[in-house]
């Protein structure tokens, strides 16, 4: 690993390494003067093993520099609060390949594993992220983020609830640079070859994230394989959410723009406020907990039956075993809407056996 940039060594204490990805290392650091926490991202062009490696890092630094300047000069504009703050950008890819940003405790990927999100929270996260992207595109030369995913969306918790911020514009599309983008999260990539300035590219990724948060994590892959109409079989998401997903994850010529995506989200938010709908019928995390508890009970009954050599109960367990196996298969496929009735039936069977 290359030595840390001198600016980082002089001004920050390295607390721990947060991660390593492709050509970057990320650290949690503490400011020596103010004692506050920051995130330091160090680029290492030598790890790319490409003839244009240093040009790629230079482009990443320039992208961050533009976002930093826009946040400083136009902080009063709508959407600026939804972009992760950038405090320092190194001068070049050779001596100072470094970006210092604000520390936000959770990425969306971490946050959605931590708690069940309400429909209101999901819409706010997507709306905040979209407004952050719009701010950057309106106030810099950048026109597509190119790597929108739950790892690059950050969640702040405060007394008003949650706020989402978009970050990591390293590989954003900039017409001034001819450097090809580096794709880090292929799962959320649109079908087109590369980002352009139509403001449609990132909408596809946002639509996939919306489908994951409102339906299931497995549905994104299903959409990519079978097309957008597949979401209509999942009734857990309200009809207007399903319509927005379909408009977002279709082919580029028919896909809505970022501005249209924002307006659709605002309309859905207003309609939800009028109707009073705030929660899903069943959250993914609650269902996961219920499944875990039920299968633990199932295993406990099986073990007790084996120890006591209870043939009568063993026969009943054998009869309901296919039901448990079917639930497991449906969970793996992401078909959570089909699980609830089967799970209730299995729980009833277990209560009778125990």
Instruction: Give the three-class secondary structure for 215.
Output: coil
User: Do residues 4 and 13 lie in contact, with contact meaning Cβ atoms separated by under 8 Å?
Assistant: no
Q: What values do phi and psi take at 290, rounded to 5?
A: -65, -40
Note the pLDDT of residue 354: 64
User: Do residues 262 and 134 lie in contact, with contact meaning Cβ atoms separated by under 8 Å?
Assistant: yes
Interatomic CA distance for residues 16 and 110, integer angstroms: 18
Count Cβ neighbours within 10 Å for each residue of 179-198 and write b for 16 or more, e otherwise: bebbebeeebbbeeeebeee
Interatomic CA distance for residues 284 and 118, integer angstroms: 11
Note the pLDDT of residue 114: 83
Instruction: Show Cβ contacts of residue 126 under 8 Å, excluding neighbours closer than 6 positions.
Output: 164, 206, 209, 210, 213, 265
Q: Would the pTM of this model clear 0.85, i.e. be above it?
A: no
Report long-range pairs for 215-221 (Cβ below 8 Å, ≥24 apart): 216/284, 216/334, 216/335, 216/336, 217/284, 217/334, 218/333, 218/334, 218/335, 219/334, 220/187, 220/188, 221/187
Tokens representing 15?
């607390």
Domain at 6-275: CATH architecture? Orthogonal Bundle (1.10)
User: Do residues 230 and 222 lie in contact, with contact meaning Cβ atoms separated by under 8 Å?
Assistant: yes
Using a 10 angstrom Cβ sphere, with 0-12 exposed, 13-18 middle and 19 or more buried, the burial of residue 33 is: exposed
User: Do residues 173 and 144 lie in contact, with contact meaning Cβ atoms separated by under 8 Å?
Assistant: yes
Q: Which residues pair with 165 in a beta bridge?
A: 154
Domain extent listing, the chain: 6-275, 284-353
From first to last of its 354 residues, the chain has per-residue pLDDT tens of 567 788 999 999 999 999 988 889 999 999 999 999 999 999 988 888 788 888 889 999 999 999 999 999 998 899 999 999 999 999 888 878 999 999 999 999 999 888 888 999 999 999 999 999 999 999 999 999 999 999 999 999 988 899 999 999 998 988 877 666 565 678 899 999 888 899 999 999 999 999 999 988 888 888 988 899 999 988 888 899 999 999 999 999 999 999 999 999 999 999 887 776 656 555 555 677 778 778 877 887 887 777 778 888 888 888 888 888 888 888 877 777 678 778 878 877 877 776
Note the pLDDT of residue 206: 98
Interatomic CA distance for residues 124 and 129, integer angstroms: 8
């Amino acid at each position: 690993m290359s030595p840390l940039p001198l600016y980082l060594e002089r001004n920050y204490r390295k607390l721990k390494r947060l991660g390593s990805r492709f050509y970057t290392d990320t650290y949690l650091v503490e400011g020596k003067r103010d004692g506050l926490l920051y995130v330091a991202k160090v680029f290492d062009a030598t790890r790319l093993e490409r003839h244009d490696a240093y040009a790629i890092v230079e482009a990443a630094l320039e992208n961050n520099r533009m976002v930093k300047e826009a946040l400083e000069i136009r902080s009063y504009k709508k959407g600026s609060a939804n972009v992760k703050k950038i405090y320092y950008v190194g001068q070049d890819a050779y001596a100072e390949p470094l970006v210092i940003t604000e520390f936000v405790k959770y990425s969306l990927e971490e946050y959605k594993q931590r708690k069940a999100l309400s429909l209101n929270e999901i819409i706010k996260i997507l709306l905040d992220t979209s407004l952050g992207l719009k701010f950057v595109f309106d106030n810099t030369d950048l026109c597509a983020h190119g790597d929108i995913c739950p790892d690059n969306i950050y969640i702040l918790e405060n007394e008003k609830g949650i706020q989402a911020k978009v970050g990591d514009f390293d590989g954003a599309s900039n017409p001034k640079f001819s450097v090809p983008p580096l794709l880090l999260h292929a799962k959320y990539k649109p079908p087109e070859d590369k980002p352009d300035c139509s403001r449609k590219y990132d909408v596809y990724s946002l639509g996939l994230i919306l489908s994951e948060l409102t339906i299931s994590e497995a549905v994104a892959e299903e959409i990519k394989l079978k097309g957008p109409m597949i979401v209509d079989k999942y009734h857990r998401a309200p009809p207007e959410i399903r319509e927005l997903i379909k408009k977002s994850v279709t082919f580029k010529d028919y896909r809505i723009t970022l501005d249209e995506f924002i307006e659709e989200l605002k309309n859905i938010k207003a309609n939800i406020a009028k109707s009073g709908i705030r929660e899903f019928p069943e959250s993914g995390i609650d269902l996961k907990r219920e499944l875990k508890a039920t299968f633990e009970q199932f295993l406990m009954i099986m073990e007790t039956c084996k120890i006591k050599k209870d043939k009568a109960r063993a026969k009943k367990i054998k009869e309901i075993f296919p039901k448990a196996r079917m639930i497991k298969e449906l969970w793996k496929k992401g078909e959570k809407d089909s699980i609830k009735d089967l799970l209730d039936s299995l729980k009833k069977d277990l209560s009778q056996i125990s």
